[in-house]
Structure formats: C-alpha cells, structure tokens
Amino acid sequence: MALGLIACSLSLQAAPQSVVYQQPSKAVRELLDAPALPKHLISPDKHTLALLEPRRFSSLAELARPTRKLAGLRFDEATGQPSQTSAIQSLRLRPLLNPQAPERIVELGAANAADGGYFHSFSWAPDGQRFLLERRGAQSNELWVGDSASGQLRRVPGLKLNNVLSQGELAWLSPQELVLLAVPDKRGKAPQEPKVPNAPVVRESSGRASPERTYADLLNSPYDEALLEHYALSQLTRVHLQSLQSKKLGAPALFFSVASIGDEDTLLTERITRPFSYSLTWDDFPQVVEVRRADGSVLREIARLPLKRGVAINGVLPGPRLFFASPNRDGAVFWVEALDGGNPATRAPHRDRLMRLDPPYTGEAQELLRIPNRFSGMRFLDDGQQALLSEEDPLRAWTRSYLLMLRGGSVSTLFEHALRERYRHPGTPLIRTDPQRGRALAQTQGGALLMLGQGASPKGDRPFLDRLSLRDGSSQRLFQSSDKLFEQPLDLLPGNQLLTLHESINSAPSLHLQVLGSNAVATPAAARSVALTQAPNSPPLLRKIRRELVHFKRDDGVEMSFWMYLPPDYKDGEARPTLVWAYPLEFNDAALAGQVSGSPNRFPNFSGISPVLLALEGYVVLNDATMPIVGDAKTVNDEFVEQITLSARAIIEKAEELGVTDPKRVAIGGHSYGAFMAVNLLAHTDLFKVGIARSGAYNRTLTPFGFQSERRSLWEARDTYLKLSPFLYANQIKEPLLLIHGETDNRSGTPALQSERLYQAMVGTGGTVRYVLLPLEAHGYNARESAGHVQWEMRQWLRHYLGEPKPAAR
C-alpha cells in the first residue's frame, strides 16, 4: 500500500490528487512534538511513585504492520496485540513521599532497540513491591517483571501473552503469583487462505427479528472463522514473579476472561464457542462460564450463553449474564439474570435479579436481590460483607446505587441522580488495591466511603473529596479545590495526608501532599501543600492563548456555554474569523443541558488533532460549544435539526455580542457525531460560511437499527432517519466542506464509505468539497504525520474560504 495521502477536490474532472504529508506551522509543530505529560501512578502500598511518559504518536511503520480484522477485533498479526496500543516512552520510579530522593530510570531502550518493539500496559502487583510491563516485540507480546526498589526489569522466559480477546486480563492469586492467558506452545501456523473458493457464503434468517447495529471487521467466511480460532486460542498459565517460572493449566480454549475467586486458588473463566456469527462481534458469540480448580480442570459449568441474536435494540440476553468473582474469603460467584425476557419494551416490576453461588459450587444458586431497573454494575467493598450495586433506567436517564449486604441481600439506597447530572453528582468511590483481596472500594474506620468528584459548577469544575456515611447516607466534605487553580484529590493516606494532582493555567500537573484538618473543609488556602514532583515546562506559546468560559441562553431558554480561545496576538475588540467546534448531546431535562463541563484553571493540554491549535494560526476558536438536544428519550431526535439550529444561532450571536467574531466568517466543525452535526447544519441552514467534518456518518440508512442514543429502527422512525441523513440533502450544501476520514475507521456506523459517498454526492450536485483519506488511520488519528497533516488541512481550508485571520474592517 502506498503511504501517500489521497485528497479529492472539486476540479473539472474531480480526479484524485496524489499529495505528500504536509507540515503545520512552526508553532503548531512545536506543540505536537512536545513530550506528553507524565502519568502519576502510585503503588498500592503508597511507597513508590511511577512517572510514566506515554509516547505521543505512533509511527506510520507501526500502523503499517500486518493486521488481522476478525469479529470486530483488530490485532497485530505477528503478536496478537490489539492495534494502536499506547506505547510507553519512558518510566521513572522514586519514593512517593521523599521528593529529594533520586529517581530510578527503568531501562526500556535496550530491549526495544533489538527488534523495534515497545513497552506498554504498566500495572502494579497488589503489594506494590513489583510492577508488570508488557512489550510488543517483533513476533510476540512479552511479559516483564520489574522490581519497585531497584527498577530492574526481567523478562518471563518463553512466555507469549495472548491479548487477542483478553486485552491484558490478569488473575492475581497472591502478590507473587498470577494467572494469565498465553499463546499455546503448539499452536502452529495460521490457516492458509484457499486460493479458490470451494463454496458460496450463505446467510439465512427464519423470520425471527434480530436488529443489529452496524459493525466493522466482522467475520465473512469459513476461512475467517478458522483464523479467529487460531489467533484467539489461549492457554491458562500460572506465573510466579520471583522465580519467573510459568506453568500451564488445563487445555487451551477461546478464553477472554480469567479471575481469581476468594483466596483458595479457584478461577472463574469465560470463553467463547461456536457457532460464530457474520453479523455480530465476538463478544456476542456463545459463551461458557466455568469455575476451575488451581490446576485448570473444570469444577463446575456455571452457564452457557447463546449467540446474542433476536435481542431487542438496547436489550440483553434473557438468561445469565455479567459474572463477578468475589475477592472475599467466601469464594462466591455472582451473576445477573433478566426478569423481563431482556426486552426493555416489556413491562415488568423488576428488570433483573442478582444470583449467588457459594463453594463447593455443587448446589443451586441463590436469588439475592430483585432490581427494579436494568443492572449496570457491582463493586465489592473491602470489608468482605458489602457491595455497591448500580442500576439504570434508560427511559428516565436515571441511575441509582444501593448498598448491598452480600449475605441475605438486604439493600439501602445510597445515592441516585440523572445519568448526565454534573452539578449534584456525588462522585465516584475511591478504589484501593489490597494485597489479598485485590481492588475494592475503600472504607474509613467509621464505616464510610471516600468519594472523589469533579465538583462541577457554573464557574467550572472544583474537584472534591467527601466522606459518605454508609449508616445514614450523610456526606461530609473533606477537601475541595479552590477556584484559583485545579487540584484533584487522589488518595487519603494515614495521618489525614491528602495526595492531590495540582495544576493551573500556567503550571502542568504535579503531585502534592497536604494535611487535612479534623473538621473544616481543606482548600489549598487553608492547608499547606508540599510539592512531591516538579511540573514539566510547557511551551511558552501555549500559555499565550487566552481562554474563557462563556455562558448564554438560546431562544427557548436552554442554558448553553462554550470555551473561547483567543489567538496570542488578539487585541480586544477585534472581530476575527471563527471556528465553532461542537459535539451534540441528548438530555431529557433542560436544566441538565446547561450544566458546564471543564475548568478555566486547568493546564492546557490538547491532542494532536485538536481544533484549539488553530488559535495559534490567528483564528478565534469556540471549542466544546454545547449543542443540547432536549426532549423525551424515545423521540428526542425528531427535533435534532431544529435544536442544533437554535444552538448554532445562539453561539454565533453570543460571539458577535462579545465582539470577537465576524459573523460573516464563521466555520462549523466536529469529529464523529460532531461531524454529523456540522454537515446537517450546512445542509439545513445558511449560518456558516464553511465546514470541517472528520470521521462522521452522513447516511443514516446505513445505520438502520439505531445510532448514538436513538432507540428506534429506520422502519419505526423513517422520517427522522431520512431527515438526519445529510447525504440525502447534498444538493443543499452550498458551503465549502472539508471531509477528513481515517482509511480503516472501525467505529460502528462510521466507515470511510460515509465520507466517500458524501463526497461523491456533492461532486455530482455541484458542491465545493475536499476529501482527505488518511492511510492506516482508524476513527482517531495516531501517527505524527497524520496529526500534522490534519492541522495543515484545517488551516488551509479556513484561510482559503474565511480569509486571513485578520480583524473585520469596521
């Protein structure tokens, strides 16, 4: 395959133009090549801090490695590692609470230099004494064990990890021992594709409705089925971290999950079986769930799940699903069963029930609890007696969390809120890793959960730490970030020492420690904060971009907002060409639609394809402009076009009122569902002069069984599907449109075909359009060359059709 770009533009013959990767401006290139911000990873024993720098971009050579695309999966042909795994650039270790101690650099380069591989997937052992790294080599995915005290790495010899289905699944038996999925020793070579087909591919349905969403990379032939069985076949393998010895457990199978149960070396495994499907992804194939002994032999089969066909849109299987292995000494296995046949349209007093099976796993499972709405999650507390159980009501867009007694099944409501609630969101329970019980919700001595929240408000996010009583549900605020910076609590150490991640508009995130008072709420102004790490330097030009959160209302009274980014050379009162970048969201409550996301005090950190970088080119950028779609959950999309039109008009009017925008030179843009929104605005309004649409879907007849939050099928809401297909209104798109798409986009509903067909429609109806197809890229764009070229394309498009980013003449 040629790695050059293909760009299609309207000319006399509308012929493809072979071009090379273009470079953005020097200022943007400098930002793209700056190191990624380090991640702060704290060991479970709170003794060691790992500073991990991710690699910012993949190389085109990495993206070009042979890839298998099977049953909704994409993975490296040679190693089985999922495609576009994030690589680790560097890794440093140091004592957590001693900032003066020298750092220990973990040597990664020597192993990578040998075969061009990379390390990825860092994780701590449960006791924090060791850590694990995986490495994608030339022919296998390896496991390396690191010593936290010295930083020394050792490879587990002879072990080849199989992440085709598991994607790094680990079952810790103790801090020194774990079970994982490996490539079988005698797997052999992959099946060879027949040179000549020996039979047609036949699909048949016998009258049973089975609405399926539109998926990419599905199986298409018996050969594909054979390939999936070959690559996904895994061997349960027990690994000792001290000796680096590994031991095979039982026979290989198509495992995708393995978890330890209690403390008796018992395993809960899940695997897929035939028959496979050509219309479903692998996780909807038949599954077998089993309890296994320490040697890998089957102790009991828990359930056999059928192929997930004939299931209603947003429905579930009617039998057992969602299995949980208790980390507690009781060794119980939990799962969920539907009581409404799995169909959300069926009226039922209870949607689901929670089941429990205890050792020795020979008796009947016990019904522990019936749940009014659809089960959505279960997390164990560290006391071994309770769990936090959550349910969702999709029609109300509501969620409720219960405190569940694991013996007896008694429950009490702990908190509930709208799914899109931000201002009154109670936060998320703090999770800690126990050396024996693994990851569990941490309780304080007084029987309370520590809740970490973003603290959203009309003025922006102010993260908090609360103590939530499990006895009466009352909440006490222990910490909240000030409104002058952004400080995110991470964990509460003994002695009321709070670890936070501290950042500001001019300072990148760094780790801080402070002591909380016994009663009063602690803020950085009230408690002395000690820096444990130094913030990395930021590019000076980035700090010169001015940022402001702007509130306003649209004509129907719905609250809206956008983040306004002004160029470094901007002078007050200048009305400049402007780019509006947005992503629509659905709400059933207008009050929720107006809630603000983000903080003016956060350090600016943008992705390589962020539209905000166009501010460095002189344009005003209105980013994260809210585009709320408010209405009943079943029919909210019936007024999609009308509501995005209301929102777009309000955005332009507010920007003009502020004096920053020339209303005659405004562009609209978006990525994915935001691109869908942008093209609909161009097709149905004359508000914008030009558009940019990346990786979107423009023909809803190609997603006939739902999209985004749409629950109805094309045949139930034909008019809405057709109205929301800007492809059908291509002749109405009179504004110039830049289409960008990844060549191998595998997101449901957004194959590159969507942009290709819209391009062809606009060419055929006399539109002005440019179509850029990025080789090797999927839904997001990962290569350095791709990011730079996307920035160049957007800048050139705006300059050509909005003009130079100069103030409008008065």
Residue-wise pLDDT for 335-376, tens only, equals 999 999 999 999 999 999 999 999 999 999 999 999 999 999
Contact status, residue 407 vs residue 425, Cβ threshold 8 Å: no
- What distances in angstroms separate CA 700 from CA 382, 669, 724, one per listed residue? 47, 19, 7
248 or 395, which is more confident: 248
- In this structure, the number of other CB atoms found within 10 A of the CB of residue 272 comes to 23
Band the pLDDT of 451: cuts 50, 70, 90: very high
Contacts with 265 (C-beta within 8 Å, 6 or more apart), sequence order: 173, 293, 294
pLDDT value at position 3?
45
pLDDT value at position 109?
86
Per DSSP (E only), the strands in 201-245 are 234-240
The catalytic position among 120, 502, 779, 789 is: 779
pLDDT value at position 493?
94
Angle at alpha carbon of residue 527, lines to 523 and 533, rounded to 5°: 95
pLDDT value at position 15?
56
User: In the structure encoding, which two tokens stand for residue 407, read together?
Assistant: 């013996």
pLDDT value at position 520?
44
pLDDT value at position 436?
75
Question: pLDDT above 90 covers what percent of the chain?
Answer: 84
- Closest among 283, 287, 290, 286 to 249, alpha carbons compared: 290
Which of 536-545, 665-674, 781-790 has the lowest average pLDDT?
Answer: 536-545
Predicted confidence (pLDDT) per residue in 243-279, tens digit: 999 999 999 999 999 999 988 789 999 999 999 999 9
pLDDT tops 80 at residue 1: no
Rounded to whole angstroms, the Cα distance separating 320 from 208 reads 21
Q: How far apart are the first and last CA of the chain?
A: 52
10 Å CB burial of residue 474 (0-12, 13-18, 19+) is exposed
672 is catalytic: yes
If you ran DSSP here, which 8-state letter would residue 638 be given? G
Contact status, residue 640 vs residue 707, Cβ threshold 8 Å: no
Can you give the C-alpha Rg of the chain in angstroms? 27
- What distances in angstroms separate CA 132 from CA 12, 149, 156, 170, one per listed residue? 58, 14, 10, 11
Which of 34-38, 81-85, 196-200 has the lowest average pLDDT?
Answer: 196-200
The residue-averaged pLDDT of 585-613 equals 93
pLDDT value at position 159?
97
pLDDT value at position 18?
61
pLDDT tops 50 at residue 606: yes
The residue-averaged pLDDT of 668-690 equals 98
pLDDT tops 90 at residue 210: no
Which of 13-27, 169-183, 365-379 has the lowest average pLDDT?
Answer: 13-27
pLDDT tops 60 at residue 108: yes
Rounded to whole angstroms, the Cα distance separating 665 from 18 reads 30
Average pLDDT, the chain: 93
Contacts with 178 (C-beta within 8 Å, 6 or more apart), sequence order: 170, 171, 172, 238, 239, 241
Predicted confidence (pLDDT) per residue in 111-136, tens digit: 787 888 999 999 999 999 999 999 99
800: left (phi over 0), alpha (psi -120 to 50) or beta: alpha
pLDDT value at position 526?
46
Residue 520 in 3-state DSSP?
Answer: coil
pLDDT tops 90 at residue 769: yes
The catalytic position among 284, 393, 662, 745 is: 745
Rounded to whole angstroms, the Cα distance separating 782 from 58 reads 6
What DSSP assignment string belongs to 119-167?
EEEEEE-TTSSEEEEEEE-SS-EEEEEEETTT--EEE-TT--B--SSSS
User: In the structure encoding, which two tokens stand for residue 351, read together?
Assistant: 């949607």
pLDDT value at position 12?
35
The catalytic position among 260, 390, 672, 695 is: 672
- What distances in angstroms separate CA 608 from CA 24, 33, 565, one per listed residue? 11, 9, 17
User: In the structure encoding, which two tokens stand for residue 757, read together?
Assistant: 């067909």
Contacts with 124 (C-beta within 8 Å, 6 or more apart), sequence order: 41, 43, 44, 50, 130, 131, 132, 433
745 is catalytic: yes
Rounded to whole angstroms, the Cα distance separating 564 from 443 reads 41
Residue 6 in 3-state DSSP?
Answer: strand
User: In the structure encoding, which two tokens stand for residue 156, read together?
Assistant: 């587990």
Predicted confidence (pLDDT) per residue in 415-448, tens digit: 999 999 999 999 999 999 988 778 899 888 789 9
